Amino acid sequence: MKHIILVLLALAIIITNINTTPRFTVSHCHDGDTCTIQDNHEASSFKLRIKDLDCPELHTNEGKLAKQLINTITSKAKSISIELDGTQSYGRLVGYLFIDGKGINNTMISSGLCKSWIFYK
């Protein structure tokens, strides 16, 4: 009986750890519309080009501010999810980035630093 309780306790701990490990985390964002995503379940990472979002280049003040904003937002995230569209751009996967269940696009666009850009279809 004692062994059964220990086994059940060990299983409960393992299941709890599996459920609390987030699938994705953002390692860092290179600019306002490209981030490196860590897949914690696959122990791998990839670059994500955020779909339908266009932010200024890093050599501009607005580009630096956009990078700072998205890094601040992603660093405070409780959950990260993505929706890939199956295409690639310059070696980056293209898709949407969700922070705590909300798409990042509206936040970046409403900041006035980025704009909507419907290109990848």
Domains for the chain: give ranges and CATH numbers: 23-116 (2.40.50.90)
Least confident of 2-6, 32-36, 68-72, 115-119: 2-6
Q: Is the dihedral of CA 90, 54, 41, 86 positive or negative?
A: negative
Predicted TM-score (pTM) of this structure:
0.79
Q: Which of 114, 6, 103, 109 is nearest to 57 (CA)?
A: 114
Strand partners, 115: 54
- 59 contacts 72 by C-beta, under 8 angstroms: no
For 40-75, write each residue's pLDDT tens digit. Answer: 999 999 999 999 999 999 999 999 999 999 999 999
Q: Which tokens hold the place of 28?
A: 């860092």
Q: Which of 52, 60, 25 is nearest to 106 (CA)?
A: 52
Q: What is the pLDDT of residue 39?
A: 94
